Amino acid sequence: MQVVVFSFIVYSSAMSSLKLEQVVILSRHNVRTPTSKNLGRMTPQFWPHWKEKPGFLTKKGFLLEGYMGKYFYTWLNKEGLLPAKCPSEEDFYIYANTMQRTMYSAQAFVRECFPHCNITINHADTDKPDPIFTPMIHNSTDIFKEMAFKEMKYIFNHLYLNNSYNVMEDILEFNESDFCKIDKNCYLAADITEFNITAGKKPEVAGPLKISNEAIDAFLMAYYNGFPFKDVAWGKLNDTNWHSILDITAGYHNITFCTKHIARDIAQPMIKYLTNIFFNSNTRVILLMGHDANINVLLSAMSFKPYELDYNFISTPVGGKIVFQKWLDEKANEYLLKIEYVYQSNEQLREAAVLSYDNPPQFKLLELEHCGTDYRGFCRWNDFINFLSIYDL
C-alpha cells in the first residue's frame, strides 16, 4: 500500500501544471454470454446454463460496466470535463454498435454517470452492418487477399500449440465429442486450419484454432460472470493450464485481426472517425462502445508498441477501454497526449468489485511507435496529429 500511495503522490506532482482538455474512450462491451453455435459438438459434457440469449450482455456485465461508468464519471468530473448536472452532447457524446451487448454496455455506463438524465446513445442504422464497428474486409483485390493470406499463414506457422491443444482435448473430453465420433477429427493438433478472406465479411479461421478459441471464450465468460468453479471448464482449470490454453486465444486473434494488411483495412473507418474527432471535435468526452476486434485492429493498424496487461488473462478484456487523453501543459503552453488501457482485473470482474479511488481499475500505459513518450508517459500532441495527417488510409 505504501508503494501505491507514493506512486500516486509522484504522479500528482508531475501533473500539477497539466489540464485535461478532452478524453476519447474506445471500449469493449462487458461480460456477455458465449456466441458459438458449436459448443454442443465439442464435448459430451453439459455446458452451464445462461439466463440470457447467446451473445447478450449479462446482468453481471451490466453491473460491472456501471462500475466503470461511475469511476470514469468521478475522475472526469474531478478534472472538470463532466458536469454534475445533465450533460449536453458538447460535454458527453456516445456512439455504440447496435448489438445488444454494446448498446446495453453503453446504457450501463451512462446510467451510473448520469442516473437522472436522458442521455442519447447514438448508433447507426440497425438494419445494416455498422460502418465503424463491423470488423469486415473492405479491399476486394486479389493482391490484397494474397498479401493478407501470406501474413495469416506466417503467424500460424509460428504458433506452437500442441501442448495447449492437448490440454483442451482433456478439458473437453474431445475424443467423445461429435467432432471426433461423427466428423472423425479427434486430435486438435492434427486437424487442418483454414483461412478465408472475403470482402464484406470478417476474416475467417476454421478448424481446431477456431473450435478451441470458442470453447475458451465460453470458459472466460463463465469465469468472469462468477459461475462456481465447477461450472468453469467443469472445474478442470487452474492457474497453470489457464495460461497454457490462452496461447490459443492469443494466436487466434493475432491471425484474425492483428496482421498488418488486415488490421489496416478493417480499422480504416474507425481511424477516420477518430481522426475527425481529434482534428475537429470540441466535445469533451466521447465514448465509443464496440468489440475486442475494434481494439485489436486499431492497436495493430496505428502501430502501438507491444504491451501486457497485469492481472488479466487476455490482452483485450471485457469492459476494457483504450483512453486517449488530450492534456494542456499550461506551463509549457503545449498540448500533450497520453493513452492508457483502463480495465478491470480478473478478480475485480469475477468478484464484481465496486470501483473507487481506493479500489481503482487497472491502468496500463500504451505507447505509439510514431509518437515518443516522456518520463510521464506523454507524447507531443502535434507529433500525434502529424502522424494522423500522413497516415495512409
Question: 3 or 231, which is more confident?
Answer: 231
Is residue 235 within 8 A of residue 125, CB to CB? The reply is no
The domains of the chain are located at 142-260
Is residue 342 within 8 A of residue 363, CB to CB? The reply is yes
> CA-CA distances (angstroms) from residue 267 to 238, 270, 302, 358?
36, 5, 9, 36
How far is Cα 30 from Cα 117, in angstroms, rounded to an integer?
22
- Catalytic residue chosen out of the listed positions 29, 123, 261, 291: 29
Residue 324: count of CB within 10 angstroms of its CB = 20
Percentage of the chain beyond pLDDT 70 is 96
How far is Cα 138 from Cα 131, in angstroms, rounded to an integer?
10
Is residue 370 within 8 A of residue 383, CB to CB? The reply is yes
Cβ density class 70-106: b for 16+ within 10 Å, e for less: bbbbbbbeebebbeeeebeeebbbbbbbbbebbbbbb
pLDDT value at position 337?
A: 98
Which class in CATH covers the domain with range 142-260?
A: alpha beta
Active site residue 49: no
**55 exposed, middle or buried (CB, 10 Å; 0-12, 13-18, 19+)?**
middle
pLDDT value at position 10?
A: 39
How far is Cα 166 from Cα 245, in angstroms, rounded to an integer?
9
pLDDT at position 4 over 80: no
pLDDT value at position 7?
A: 40
What pLDDT digit, counting tens, does each position of 51-102 carry?
A: 999 999 999 999 999 999 999 999 999 999 999 999 998 999 999 999 999 9
Kindly indicate the confidence band of residue 11, based on its pLDDT and cuts at 50, 70 and 90.
very low
pLDDT value at position 6?
A: 39
pLDDT value at position 127?
A: 82
pLDDT value at position 126?
A: 82
What pLDDT digit, counting tens, does each position of 344-370 carry?
A: 999 999 999 999 999 999 999 999 999
Active site residue 383: no
Considering the entire predicted model, what is its pTM? Answer: 0.94
How far is Cα 232 from Cα 151, in angstroms, rounded to an integer?
34
> CA-CA distances (angstroms) from residue 305 to 30, 93, 192, 256, 367?
25, 28, 32, 19, 6
How far is Cα 242 from Cα 265, in angstroms, rounded to an integer?
32
- Catalytic residue chosen out of the listed positions 116, 292, 358, 392: 292
Residue 311 gets the label, from left (phi > 0), alpha (psi -120 to 50) or beta, of: left
Is residue 135 within 8 A of residue 28, CB to CB? The reply is no
What pLDDT digit, counting tens, does each position of 247-300 carry?
A: 999 999 999 999 999 999 999 999 999 999 999 999 999 999 999 999 999 999
What pLDDT digit, counting tens, does each position of 308-318 carry?
A: 999 999 999 99
